[in-house]
Structure 1
Amino acid sequence: MPSDSRDLDLGKFDEYMEALIRDWHAPGIGVSVVRNDQIVLTRGYGYRDAANLLSFTPSTLFPIASNTKLFTAIAAGLLVERGLLSFDEPIRHAVPSLRFYDPSLDAAVTLRDMLGHKTGVPRYDMIWDDSDYSTKELFERIRFMKPVAPLRSRMIYNNMMYEAVGHIIELMSGKPWDQFVRDEILTPLGMQRTLFTYGGAKADGQGDYALPFSERRDSDEFWQLPAPKDDERSPAGSIVTSLEDIARWSIMLMNDGVIDGKQLIPASVLKATLVPGLPWPTGMSDLLGFDTDLNGVYGMGRMTSVFRGHLLTSHGGNLRAFHSQVSYLSNEKIGVSVFVIGDHCAPLSNAIGFDIYSRALGLEATDWTARFRDFCIKAKATMREARERSVPRAVPNTRPSHDLADYVGSYEHPAYGKMNITMDGTQLQFGFRHIDLPLNHFHYDRFDTPDDEAKGAWSASFLTSTLGDIDRAAMQLDQIEAVFVRLATRPEADVLAKLVGTYETPLGMKIGISLNRDGDILLSAPGDPGEVLKPLKGLQFRSNDFPDVTFEFVFQDGRVTELRHWDAHVEIVWPRTGDAVPADTLEDDALLKS
């Protein structure tokens, strides 16, 4: 251990860590310890790459997940410091384009609410997680997120709010979130081994980055999980850094923005992130049956609590197989950061820090790791037994309402994006984000995927329109039922052009069919504003306002001869009377531009 650690007695720490690697069957662990303005320890144990036995080093690049949030909160604070934003005025004053689910939130939500998880809006992580949406596109989807609690009534962790703040930083500074954080935070702090994407870590030239290994869910065999996407830049959780850089970060935080004798981050910005907000939920302590720290209160991008009578500042970060904890004792100025590879040993990111603090403070030892280990062993055995006992709960002797080919298509939700159902031979396939799994009949019009260890289990229930066609699919996402609407295939432009013309009802009314600026079919009658018809199939279209009202264009000898219009009770034929849309059919030219 370096000589500057002599005033911080950690005991036989290397032996302790080697025992943890062995007892927990951990692929790799990294530990950083700082005190005052000195680095005490940056050391890796085990492997950053368990398959090739490559050592975890102080320079190993590691995804810190939600520990990214404090970088984003501080970046926003720098804009507050410059008068471009305010923590406590409604954010719409500075960013009118931000829309929430209802006008009451539009009028009241502040930047502090967003960074402090106080909006009352649930996580909606499936909008963000593993999507291909840009930060701007995620920002635009905030309006679909329905609150479940009144504003500022309880803390509900929300990654999407940090995505939105990342876009706000770009709007107000003129720089993308990652460039602003690089220029204003990382470069001044000398954090040269801190990047914004996992792909950047893989391509940095040193080849020293962590790989996502963990035990299989039903055995102790290691397997390599899907890694974070190479190109994902997320203000909520994409930063990749090293033990050496996180040590500098911790020193700066503990010393109110000062490092190497220089004030690099304004103390006022850091103190603002520590202003108490709402209590941290205690569900995990209730589940464990014991408390590690007490009275957790979230600020912005980090929280404070009490550890054995001492004020602790901390934040965790969790991705599949990557778990981190960055913390420090505020008064004693002792900081500990722990990086852990492996979902089965994730609690070590907390337990190791608690043990180091107990050692450094000379407190009576509490075997935190043993407590967590007992819980993890029990949890893994319980879930394995539950899977073994699982039996199908399907209603017997049911069948789909349609042929399997009728379910094939693309379905879209305004917030979650597209879900694709395809056919591989006689097997339906489920495609969502980067997931591609077989889709098997469960009962009625419900279809399920297998429970895949890497990609999970998914279920879709298909719904029919009043016309009897499959037009929607419902999935449970983020504790809500999300309904995906089937996308119809619009005829080619040259075919649509042939539909334009005038059609006459049996009572002599002239009906105009034209194309609007988006190439959609527009039906209009004298005195009406016109209605866009939605493609159904072939040359069939559906009323946008009345889904059970449909229209079909009839071709004979290469030209349209009539338009058939029907609902559940009547069918009417409108013969075509001309190729042009009569002027008196349209109120004005604006109709063509609708």
Structure 2
Amino acid sequence: MNNEQLAAFRSYVQTEMEKWQVPGLSIAVVQGNEVMMAEGFGYRDIEKKLAVTPDTLFAIGSCTKAFTALAAGQLMEEGKIDLDTPVINYFPAFKMHDPVATEQLTLRDMLCHRSGLPRHDLLLFNEKLSREDLIARLRYLEPSQPIRYKFQYNNLLITTAGHILGLMEGTSWEQVIQNYILDPLDMTESCMSIYDLKQSANHAVPYIEKEGCIVSTPYHNIDAFGPAGSINSNAKEMASWVLMNLNKGRYKDRTLVSEKYIAEMQTPLINSHSYVNQKEFLVSCYGLGWLIEPYRGYQMILHDGGIDGYSALTAFLPNNNVGIVVLTNKNSTPLPRMIAFNLFDRALGLDEVDWSGRFWEDYERANSQEEEQQAQICKSNHQQASRALLEYAGTYTHPGYGDIFITLRDEKLHMKLYAFESVLSCKDRSTFRLDLDIGMMVVPLSMTFQESSAGKIESLSMPLNYEQGAKEIVFIKQL
């Protein structure tokens, strides 16, 4: 891309940032062996009017997964692990709810999300649990599919894979990533903890959109899930990561991993689903830590990343030697994807698709549907419960998810799970609805109470996984 193309691209980025109300953004564009652009836009801190630079640290979220997958290949090529050996051979304490998965699940299965286990992502918010605690709870989480049957995105099992890499090295996942990837790529400012991010003098404050306003949101500590999403980096250093991938495992005079393994990471292992609801994205597959999708006839390797207050994207066209990293400090924005697609249109000499217009239509449609759903909910609220509210009160426990506390205050039932609290409203005799405000979004949920043969409340259930075949999670009332 020439200077004129890059200038037009900068203008596009600035225009779309304003339209989509994104406070700050940092971009690196790589072409061939050269970093064509590494720049910051907007504010890393709105209140203090601090500008984003190419050195500003952002959370990259699930873009971390490809780092974990690369490290697995590095250890494999050193003869320390095998991706197709059941992980129970490396980690005897490993246990899934499904005994077949316990005996057969491999690192390859974990890294491409074909374990049979639905997301169970609410556990991400139990900040009292260590990585070891989370992995120990896998045995209590029911699968919804057989092993290797279907793509089911799962942060817990990527976390487990990373933990196993640390065990094989006699250290932690963090140290493996530092030694095998960050240090060789000269990624000296990148880090893997929310605490290190906050201590950096140049980091982006996380923001969310709430009732049409951009507001800061608390930093979400996902260090326990580190291998699935805790890396923090900047545009300059992520450019080195993209360069290494485009150059098939090489960076400067160093070879981090073989060309063969880079190709393996980018080879489809299971059909997935694209996050873009557009006609151009009818096919999506997952490899080792990467999504593989066609972009207007060209092979595209990518991964999105999103945690509270941050949205990121790493994407490149391996056969055309061009790539991009987009880091933002706003939650759940499609801006990284549309910026990447616009860059690829320009780099490939294609007519530009109005991705912003298309995404905006999706955005307005989703808002309209949400308003309709809320209107229906309001109509159905305030039904009569089948028994006195006090009878529902108590502590309900699930061995994987922990405790839910139901209390009666001011003639209303209140639910507490981890740090979240919500008021229950009766939907239909024994079923209540609630809005779970998890910071980055409000999740509407239902809660149904079950009674014993003696007519006493004995449990409650909630649909916490939306994948096909996933059962509701049942919490047993404690006496």
Same fold by TM-score greater than 0.5: yes
Gaps of 5+ in 2: none
> 1:142 and 1:370, CA in 2 relative to 1: closer, same or farther beyond 3 A?
same
**1:190-201 correspondence to structure 2 within 5 Å:** 190-201=186-197
Match of 2:303 in 1: 315
Q: Does 1:253 align with 2:245?
A: yes
Match of 1:401 in 2: 387
Match of 1:298 in 2: 286
- Judge conservation of contact 1:101–1:147 (CA < 8 Å) in 2: yes
1:210 paired residue among 191, 204, 211: 204
> 1:13 and 1:156, CA in 2 relative to 1: closer, same or farther beyond 3 A?
same
Aligned length: 473
AA in 2 matched with 1:290:
K
1:179 paired residue among 175, 185, 193: 175
> 1:138 and 1:451, CA in 2 relative to 1: closer, same or farther beyond 3 A?
closer
AA in 2 matched with 1:61:
L
Q: Does 1:88 align with 2:79?
A: no
Tell me, in whole angstroms, the C-alpha distance in 2 between the residues paired with 1:328 and 1:319. Answer: 22
Tell me, in whole angstroms, the C-alpha distance in 1 between the residues paired with 2:389 and 2:369. Answer: 39
- Judge conservation of contact 2:433–2:447 (CA < 8 Å) in 1: yes
> 1:241 and 1:96, CA in 2 relative to 1: closer, same or farther beyond 3 A?
same
Match of 2:118 in 1: 122
Tell me, in whole angstroms, the C-alpha distance in 1 between the residues paired with 2:128 and 2:295. Answer: 40
1:229 paired residue among 221, 228, 236: 221
Match of 1:374 in 2: 361
1:358 paired residue among 329, 334, 345: 345
Tell me, in whole angstroms, the C-alpha distance in 2 between the residues paired with 1:85 and 1:230. Answer: 26
Match of 1:142 in 2: 138
Match of 1:35 in 2: 31
SS at match of 2:463: strand
Match of 1:567 in 2: none
Tell me, in whole angstroms, the C-alpha distance in 1 between the residues paired with 2:279 and 2:451. Answer: 50
SS at match of 1:12: helix
Q: Does 1:420 align with 2:405?
A: yes
Tell me, in whole angstroms, the C-alpha distance in 1 between the residues paired with 2:349 and 2:23. Answer: 30
- Judge conservation of contact 1:135–1:166 (CA < 8 Å) in 2: no
How far does residue 85 in structure 1 lie from its aligned partner after superposition? 1.7
Tell me, in whole angstroms, the C-alpha distance in 2 between the residues paired with 1:474 and 1:289. Answer: 35
- Map Cα deviations across residues 102-123 of structure 1 (whole Å, 9 max, x no partner): 2322333221111111223222
Among the aligned pairs, what percent are the same residue?
30
Match of 2:378 in 1: 391
Quote the RMSD (CA, aligned, Å).
2.7
Tell me, in whole angstroms, the C-alpha distance in 2 between the residues paired with 1:468 and 1:383. Answer: 37
Tell me, in whole angstroms, the C-alpha distance in 2 between the residues paired with 1:451 and 1:92. Answer: 36
> 1:73 and 1:230, CA in 2 relative to 1: closer, same or farther beyond 3 A?
closer
Tell me, in whole angstroms, the C-alpha distance in 2 between the residues paired with 1:89 and 1:381. Answer: 49
Tell me, in whole angstroms, the C-alpha distance in 2 between the residues paired with 1:289 and 1:267. Answer: 32
**1:491-506 correspondence to structure 2 within 5 Å:** none
- Map Cα deviations across residues 383-406 of structure 1 (whole Å, 9 max, x no partner): 23432453343584x3453462x5
- Judge conservation of contact 1:225–1:320 (CA < 8 Å) in 2: yes
AA in 1 matched with 2:245:
L
AA in 2 matched with 1:323:
S
Tell me, in whole angstroms, the C-alpha distance in 1 between the residues paired with 2:375 and 2:431. Answer: 23
How far does residue 267 in structure 1 lie from its aligned partner after superposition? 3.6
Q: Please give the TM-score of this superposition, normalised by the length of structure 2.
A: 0.90
AA in 2 matched with 1:391:
C
How far does residue 450 in structure 1 lie from its aligned partner after superposition? 4.9
Between structure 1 and structure 2, the one with the greater Rg is: 1
Q: Does 1:472 align with 2:459?
A: yes
- Map Cα deviations across residues 232-275 of structure 1 (whole Å, 9 max, x no partner): 55211111111111111111111122222222344444333223
Structure with the bigger RCO (C-alpha within 8 Å, sep 6+) is 2
Tell me, in whole angstroms, the C-alpha distance in 1 between the residues paired with 2:346 and 2:10. Answer: 13
Tell me, in whole angstroms, the C-alpha distance in 2 between the residues paired with 1:55 and 1:6. Answer: 26
- Judge conservation of contact 2:105–2:115 (CA < 8 Å) in 1: yes
Tell me, in whole angstroms, the C-alpha distance in 2 between the residues paired with 1:453 and 1:265. Answer: 39
How far does residue 70 in structure 1 lie from its aligned partner after superposition? 0.9
- Map Cα deviations across residues 462-501 of structure 1 (whole Å, 9 max, x no partner): 334445544322222114311112334xxxxxxxxxxxxx
- Map Cα deviations across residues 401-431 of structure 1 (whole Å, 9 max, x no partner): 3462x54433210111111234556554321
Match of 1:463 in 2: 450
Match of 1:436 in 2: 421
- Map Cα deviations across residues 313-336 of structure 1 (whole Å, 9 max, x no partner): 111112243211101111222110
Tell me, in whole angstroms, the C-alpha distance in 1 between the residues paired with 2:147 and 2:478. Answer: 36
> 1:409 and 1:59, CA in 2 relative to 1: closer, same or farther beyond 3 A?
same
Gaps of 5+ in 1: 489-594
> 1:319 and 1:299, CA in 2 relative to 1: closer, same or farther beyond 3 A?
same
Q: Does 1:482 align with 2:473?
A: yes
SS at match of 2:378: coil
Task: Please identify, of 40-49 and 267-276, the stretch whose mean Cα deviation from structure 2 is larger.
Answer: 267-276
**1:444-455 correspondence to structure 2 within 5 Å:** 444-450=429-435, 452=437, 454=439
AA in 2 matched with 1:170:
G
**1:504-519 correspondence to structure 2 within 5 Å:** none
Tell me, in whole angstroms, the C-alpha distance in 1 between the residues paired with 2:223 and 2:272. Answer: 32
Tell me, in whole angstroms, the C-alpha distance in 1 between the residues paired with 2:438 and 2:285. Answer: 35
- Map Cα deviations across residues 51-94 of structure 1 (whole Å, 9 max, x no partner): 33322221111111111101111222222222232112222233
Q: Does 1:21 align with 2:17?
A: yes
- Map Cα deviations across residues 500-533 of structure 1 (whole Å, 9 max, x no partner): xxxxxxxxxxxxxxxxxxxxxxxxxxxxxxxxxx
1:102 paired residue among 95, 98, 103: 98
- Judge conservation of contact 1:198–1:232 (CA < 8 Å) in 2: no
SS at match of 1:365: coil
Match of 2:315 in 1: 327
AA in 1 matched with 2:403:
K
- Map Cα deviations across residues 529-556 of structure 1 (whole Å, 9 max, x no partner): xxxxxxxxxxxxxxxxxxxxxxxxxxxx
SS at match of 2:228: coil
> 1:275 and 1:443, CA in 2 relative to 1: closer, same or farther beyond 3 A?
closer
SS at match of 1:391: helix
